[in-house]
Amino acid sequence: MSDKTMTLIDNRTGEKYEYPILEGTRGPAAVDMRSFYKDSGMFSYDPGFTSTASCKSEITFINGEKGELRYRGLPIEELATGHSYLEVCHLLLEGELPTEEQLQNLDLELRHRAFLPEGLVRLSQTIPDDAHPMSVMSAGVTALSAFYYEHLKLETPEDYREMAHRIIAKMPTLAAFAYRHSIGATYIYPDIDRSFTENFLYMLRAYPGGKMHRDPDGHREIKPIEVEALDTIFTLHADHEQNASTTVVRSVASTGAHPYVAISSGISALWGRAHGGANESVIEQLRMIGSVENVDKYIARAKDPNDPFRLMGFGHRVYKNFDPRARILKKLQDQLRDELNLDTELMRIAQRIEEIALSDEYFIQRKLYPNIDFYSGIILTALGLPRSMFTPIFVIGRTVGWIAQWIEFKKDKESKIARPRQLYVGK
């Protein structure tokens, strides 16, 4: 018997089942259970897929115990500090960092593709003014599939590239329009003289006609440090392996639906408070806590098993150590503190929560560390970005990851329609 197999024994009957062990290039091996039902007539039971590898992937690697994250083999620390978000987009889509020429081409292409079809602009204006920008984004991306329906036929690598670039380029515009719609402001169209990240801030902040006056709190003018910080935030959100929204994107991809519909489903999944919506909830919660003196009371609530209250921005399904993205953002937050008008009371509350949680037995035992959302909300607040835009900003960064995963799924000869089974316990 090969030593690269695992044998399962049904202790009721003594029946043995042998399965190959598949080894990856990094991380835990996986037992190939694909024939388990056929062999045994039983299912494996794994709610939330905590022990299930749903695919093979070459895109992102996470070691949750060590707090390690890599895109295409490169550590996130190197990418976040030494490369731009557009370089990371190229890396995720093409597998390699771009040459200077490839980067220029990508930059130029994204600038030119940033405009939305006018029909979509009009459609977005029909949505109620007080809608959350995330609902406009989800609806807007679904609508994009109507405007680019003919692109359902993806045959050549160029077709895939065009589809990917189009949606990545339009996402900041859609997000900015969604925000401006929610505050009743005129839309500001993309300015192709501006880079991807700067353009997003411009579309959010400019006055009608595209003027960039300085407002009383100085937030209108776009400072290079703000562009850099937001670019880093996009990079840190760019992909994260088979998380809930990516799993949704792959599941929708598995049905053969249009790629933009799959991305729209990812947006909907990301909105939830247990996933991308947590960054908005972190700030809500810090404001609710109100002052450093109240922190202990809320920590006690988070620890009380009879209280549903949870510390937002703490804990992660995979990281049982400091989220490496949170580490980078914590440093960024400290750098920004002196240069931007930070809400210091929020920062003090956050710091106190972090200190207590990192030394409290409840959090230590459960390996609950700050995650990316704990700091991203504070930094985005410092950049003068409204709370309702936190999750849309996550969407902008993550779109490239969803597309890379969508393409990988389509090219994977072993991929199948997502169709889990169940343990029926009803009448």
Residues labelled catalytic: 316, 373
Per rule CB under 6 A, is residue 62 in the interface with ligand ACO?
Answer: no
Among 83, 166, 220, 316, binds ligand ACO (CB under 6 A): 316
Q: Which residue is nearest to ligand ACO (CB)?
A: 315
Contacts of residue 193, Cβ cutoff 8 Å, sequence gap at least 6: none
Q: Which is nearer to ligand ACO, 51 or 186 (CB)?
A: 51
Beta-carbon count within 10 A of 279 CB: 30
368 binds ligand ACO (CB under 6 A): yes
Distance, CA of 263 to CA of 135 (rounded, Å): 13
Based on the shown chain and the rule CB under 6 A, indicate whether residue 372 belongs to the binding site for ligand ACO.
Answer: yes
Cβ-based nearer residue to ligand ACO, 26 or 366:
366
Sequence-distant (≥ 6) Cβ neighbours of residue 47 within 8 angstroms: none
* 305 Cβ contact partners less than 8 Å away, ≥ 6 residues apart: none
From 317, 337, 348, 387, residue interacting with ligand ACO (rule: CB under 6 A): 317
| Nearest residue (CB) to ligand ACO, 37 versus 309 | 309
Give the rounded distance of the alpha carbon of 146 from its chain centre.
25
Least gap, CB of 302 to ligand ACO (angstroms): 4
337 part of the interface to ligand ACO, by CB under 6 A:
no
241 is a contact residue toward ligand ACO (CB under 6 A): no
Q: What is the DSSP letter of 11?
A: T
- Residues 6 or more apart from 254 whose CB is under 8 A from it? 409, 415, 416, 417, 418
Q: Does 371 bind ligand ACO (CB under 6 A)?
A: yes
Among 223, 310, 320, 387, binds ligand ACO (CB under 6 A): 310
Return the ∠ at Cα 270 (arms to 411 and 228), rounded to 5°. 90
The distance of closest approach from Cβ of residue 261 to ligand ACO in the complex, given in angstroms and rounded to an integer, is 22
Residue 263 within binding range of ligand ACO, rule CB under 6 A: no
Least gap, CB of 59 to ligand ACO (angstroms): 17
Q: Could you count the other beta carbons within 10 Å of the beta carbon of residue 108? A: 11
61, 298, 314, 409: which one binds ligand ACO (CB under 6 A): 314
Site for ligand ACO in 73-102 (CB under 6 A): none
Q: According to CB under 6 A, which one of 133, 313, 324, 401 is a site residue for ligand ACO?
A: 313
Closest distance of CB 396 from ligand ACO, Å: 14
Taking the complex as a whole, the smallest distance from the CB of residue 371 to ligand ACO amounts, in Å, to 4
Is residue 315 a contact point for ligand ACO (CB under 6 A)? yes
Instruction: State which of residues 182, 373, 377, 390 lies at the interface with ligand ACO (CB under 6 A).
Output: 373
Yes or no: say if 378 and 161 are a contact pair by the CB < 8 Å rule: no
- Where do we find the tokens 């969508």? 406
Determine the Cα angle at 131 with ends 128 and 136, to 5°: 95
Q: Which stretch binds ligand ACO (CB under 6 A): 26-34, 110-118, 307-315, 415-423?
A: 307-315
Cα dihedral sign, 387-391-395-397: positive
Residue choice 75, 366, 412, 420 for contact with ligand ACO (CB under 6 A): 366
Q: Which is nearer to ligand ACO, 189 or 362 (CB)?
A: 362
Whether the Cβ atoms of residue 243 and residue 269 lie closer than 8 Å to each other:
no
Nearer to ligand ACO, 72 or 240 (CB): 240
Tokens of residue 377, six digits:
């909300």
- Euclidean distance between CA atoms 347 and 341, whole angstroms: 12
| Phi, psi dihedral angles at 60 (to 5 degrees) | -125, 140
β pairing state of 5-9 and 30-31? unpaired
| Residues in binding contact with ligand ACO, number by CB under 6 A | 18
Stretch touching ligand ACO by CB under 6 A, among 139-147, 164-172, 335-343, 371-379: 371-379
If the CB atoms of residues 302 and 400 are measured against ligand ACO, the closer one turns out to be: 302
Is residue 312 at the binding interface for ligand ACO, with CB under 6 A as the rule? yes
d(Cα 190, Cα 175) in Å, to the nearest integer? 12
DSSP code string of 129-193: TTS-HHHHHHHHHHHHHHHTGGGG---SHHHHHHHHHHHHHHHHHHHHHHHHHHTTPPP----TT
Q: Kindly state the smallest distance separating residue 139's Cβ from ligand ACO, in Å.
A: 22
Q: Map residues 265-304 to x or -, x wherever contact with ligand ACO holds by CB under 6 A.
A: ---------xxx-x-----------------------x--
Q: Which residues bind ligand ACO (CB under 6 A)?
A: 274-276, 278, 302, 310-317, 366, 368, 371-373
